Structure 1
Amino acid sequence: MTIRILPAIGDPDAARAVTSLLNQLPDAEPAPAVADGTALLDALAGAAAQPAVDTGPGPAVAALPEVVLVHERIGPTPALELIREIALRFPAVGVVLITTDAGPALFSAAMDAGARGIVGLPLGYDELAARVQAAAQWAAGVRVHLGGNPEARPGPAGRLVTVTGAKGGVGTTVAAVQLALAARAAGRSVALVDLDLQSGDVASYLDVQFRRSVVDLAGIQDLSVRVLQDAVHDHHTGLALLLAPEEGERGEEVDDRAARQILGALRSRYEVVVVDCGSQMQSANAAAVELADVALLVTTPDVVAVRAAKRQVRLWDRLQIRKAEDTTTVVNRLTRSTEIQPPVVAKATGTRTARAHVPAAYKELQPCVDAGRMQDLDARSTVKQALWALAGELGLVESPAARQGRGSHRARPSLTGRKRKALTTGAAAGSGTGPGAASGAASGSGSGSGAGRFGVRRGQATAAGGPGPFDPAGPYEEG
């Protein structure tokens, strides 16, 4: 959803500074700043008075900006009085006050006047982005009730799960596919997105030939239901598939802004959105990891993969994408004789490890992988049982009663300029086998990726056999 923003700032220098920051916000469409409160009210009244083309209050509401920024020295009317008048006359507009005094007394007075947030001076990108996005989501919710946009939703509703591979060949894609199938089998509406933009293989694992991909949505500003349906493939399993492009070079067209918009549209229409992020970190899948309610990092229990997992976690931390403690690591291809057990992986990476571990049983997977029909994996497969148990651990197959009790998810802030620049220039490229590596089976060959933020309770590993003599402080430490 495009966020239209109208700044009301009298000082020209302050107006230029605010506009510069607003231009960096994803999906933001800032209007030229107005110089005083009178001009602001006139602009809002003019938007509300635009001729109606449909019945009901919708067109007038839809023409208004979602967010208005009011500077404390706007004049001639005091800022709080101006906010109160906007709230009374234009209740579908979210107002944010810009002030040098962000103390509790002014905050309470601003909220009483009808403001949806306060941003302190000097302005910072992260704080401004968070307040603008919160006000825009509130405005969208009000407009739904007023009938301004039948297709809009108040904010993200579906649960976003990202699956990232520590490196190529760890089994990311099969993990993502099976998690999506488990959620769908539980009766939930599920979208499976392939954001491994250069080498995504979700289509190959589900035997799909579909000419549209996520790239077709990248340049569209307003993702309506019809536009989204045209790009999504309805698989016979009930999954809604948004696939990676056939031409890997076109993946560069999907940046972090497009990814946020696409994932937001999907979350507003599906209960669960599972994203295969691959193992190569780019701005689009980095944005997905940052937004995720549940972020999984898939690794195998070997020194090379665990080192790669540690590098991935450190990368996310340096770019402020995700903290290690908000990441859940899934250990794939685990056996009793494996020297590196899940507690060792958790200690080496600083992440949580999922209680469900995936066993090494590629023979179970090979017929389905070769046929491109991962949905036909036998229910007796130990790999399928482990991954569906993981879905249960993550709450993707919870009962309807539990679903109703679960609150809405807080939207996470978007990529900052520093993160976007680092990922765009390739300085923050993640570990893996290279852009041409294909995603592999959960217990087989290929490349996969998974990353995440998920607050499940940390539990003891259930795999048989304890950690071997391997010392995580040794080989994992980078020289």
Structure 2
Amino acid sequence: MPPSITLAIIDSDASARESIEATLRPFAETISIAGSVDTFADGVRLIENSAPNVVILEVNDIQRGMQEVQHITSRFPRTSVIVSSAERNSDWILSLMRAGAVEYMLRPITQEELKQALQKVGRFFFSSSSDKTPNGKLISVYYPTGGTGTTTVAVNLAASLASEGTKVALVDLNLYSGDISTFLDVNPTYTLSSVTSNIDRLDANFLMTVMTRHSSGPFVLTEPNEVDDAISITPDQVRRILEFLKGVFTYVVVDCGGPLAGCNMAIFESSDVVLFTTALSLPALKNSKRYLTAMERKGLRKDRLKLVVNRYLPKADIQVKDAEKVLGHTVFQTIPNEYLDVVASINKGMPVVKMSPRSPVSKALLTLAELVK
């Protein structure tokens, strides 16, 4: 836990306030309690006087709670609000999140839940100012349509790069048919649209509360749950999110697909490397030729476009040299067709590089990670 987090409690229930304070006593060296009050008006005065990093705010009424969260976040932008409530309704969670809360905890609050929430807020509250990496590398994995394994490559590349504590973000920007949540077996409360709907208050503190840390290492921002949410996402929002992520993470891996327009062009303009992922089949190579030519025509330098051949079979009718001749690109990396290992990893919600590290497909993906560093 980073040092010197200051915290204020606003809660009408005296026993709940005492319970939170008791829960935090073992962390007295890293968390100081600025004060504990029973009314919102007293809470505002407490925030004015002590400028805490975090406020734990009781919410019993959704409309009043949203107003109170908005009041705190607009008047005190450096203070993060964690909501505590007995209400399990997902609409409450999303509404309060959109109002500006960074975390939602069900009452009664357990020590472990509170510790995790404060670690989330604290880790990136302090790293954003003292441990920033403004030149993080953005790697996008792209093919215009489904079927070539871009998500497999993106998920495993992110997991490979996240070894030894390296900070890695994995973002699903395949807006209409994203699969990262399925591949990693995560069902997060907040998704990409949670960020875009709060774009004006984007900071490291807010961002890290909506990203899910997967056990394989990367921090994950998944695809929108609803098609309507995807439609409303703009290229400018995508550009702002990616630039911010590059300021927080050492590597940002983006899974994307679809036309060469709108949000995808914003992704490519922000990318240091575009891994164009294809397969050695006539339809895939024909489509790849069309899109690679169009990408270069749109100003993407050839040295930023790296050709990855997925599901590679050495004895296939079409060879690597044939693909290179047709596409005018040298193959950057081949990834062997190890269907059973990959499907087993997807079914378990764990990247194949972590589940079966000795598999030929894992070795190829780990080599790919080394190549893009």
Q: TM-score range by the shorter chain?
A: 0.5 to 0.7
> What is the CA distance between 1:328 and its match in structure 2?
0.6
The aligned residue for residue 319 of structure 2 is 341
Which among 284, 290, 293 is matched to residue 269 of structure 2? 290
Alignment partner of 1:226: what SS?
helix
* 8 Å contact kept, 1:324–1:349: no
The aligned residue for residue 349 of structure 2 is 372
Cα distance in 2, alignment partners of residues 206 and 338 from structure 1: 31
Alignment partner of 1:333: what SS?
strand
> What is the CA distance between 1:281 and its match in structure 2?
4.1
* 8 Å contact kept, 2:159–2:351: no
Cα distance in 1, alignment partners of residues 130 and 137 from structure 2: 17
The aligned residue for residue 255 of structure 1 is 234
TM-score by length of 1: 0.48
Which among 243, 248, 267 is matched to residue 222 of structure 2? 243
Q: Deviations over 1:274-332 (max 9, x none)?
A: 00012444411221112211110000001100111112112223333x13443111011
AA of the residue aligned to 2:214: H
Q: Deviations over 1:222-243 (max 9, x none)?
A: 4112221222112222211011
* 8 Å contact kept, 2:172–2:222: yes
The aligned residue for residue 171 of structure 2 is 193
Cα distance in 2, alignment partners of residues 266 and 325 from structure 1: 23
Cα distance in 2, alignment partners of residues 221 and 279 from structure 1: 27
Q: Gaps spanning 5+ residues in structure 2: where?
A: 1-47, 50-127
> What is the CA distance between 1:352 and its match in structure 2?
3.3
1:182 paired to 2:173: no
Alignment partner of 1:295: what SS?
strand
* 8 Å contact kept, 1:203–1:243: yes
* 8 Å contact kept, 1:298–1:329: yes
Aligned counterparts, 1:39-438, within 5 A: 151=129, 156-219=134-197, 220-320=199-299, 322-354=300-332, 356-374=333-351, 376-395=354-373
* 8 Å contact kept, 1:167–1:299: no
Cα distance in 2, alignment partners of residues 381 and 299 from structure 1: 21
The RMSD of aligned alpha carbons is 2.4
> What is the CA distance between 1:186 and its match in structure 2?
4.1
Cα distance in 2, alignment partners of residues 387 and 335 from structure 1: 15
Cα distance in 2, alignment partners of residues 326 and 224 from structure 1: 29
Cα distance in 2, alignment partners of residues 360 and 222 from structure 1: 44
Cα distance in 1, alignment partners of residues 362 and 259 from structure 2: 26
Cα distance in 2, alignment partners of residues 210 and 273 from structure 1: 19
* 8 Å contact kept, 1:245–1:251: yes
* 8 Å contact kept, 1:325–1:350: no
Flag the structure with more relative contact order, 1 or 2, with Cα contacts below 8 A and sequence separation at least 6. 1
Cα distance in 1, alignment partners of residues 336 and 290 from structure 2: 24
AA of the residue aligned to 1:242: L
AA of the residue aligned to 2:216: T
Cα 1:154–1:188 shift into 2, 3 Å: closer
* Pairs aligned (count): 247
AA of the residue aligned to 2:249: Y
> What is the CA distance between 1:333 and its match in structure 2?
1.4
> What is the CA distance between 1:371 and its match in structure 2?
3.0
| Structure with the larger strand share | 2
* 8 Å contact kept, 1:167–1:309: no
Q: Deviations over 1:385-424 (max 9, x none)?
A: 11111111222xxxxxxxxxxxxxxxxxxxxxxxxxxxxx
Cα distance in 1, alignment partners of residues 142 and 170 from structure 2: 14
Cα 1:165–1:377 shift into 2, 3 Å: farther
Q: Deviations over 1:135-180 (max 9, x none)?
A: xxxxxxxxxxxxxxx7499984111000002531101101001111
* 8 Å contact kept, 1:157–1:271: yes
Alignment partner of 1:284: what SS?
helix
Cα 1:284–1:342 shift into 2, 3 Å: same
| Structure with the larger helix share | 2
Q: Gaps spanning 5+ residues in structure 1: where?
A: 1-52, 55-149, 396-479
Cα distance in 2, alignment partners of residues 209 and 222 from structure 1: 24
* 8 Å contact kept, 2:272–2:304: no
Cα distance in 1, alignment partners of residues 233 and 307 from structure 2: 26
> What is the CA distance between 1:215 and its match in structure 2?
1.4
* 8 Å contact kept, 2:139–2:274: yes
AA of the residue aligned to 1:349: L
* 8 Å contact kept, 2:216–2:351: no
Alignment partner of 1:364: what SS?
helix
> What is the CA distance between 1:195 and its match in structure 2?
0.3
Cα distance in 2, alignment partners of residues 372 and 282 from structure 1: 31
AA of the residue aligned to 2:294: L
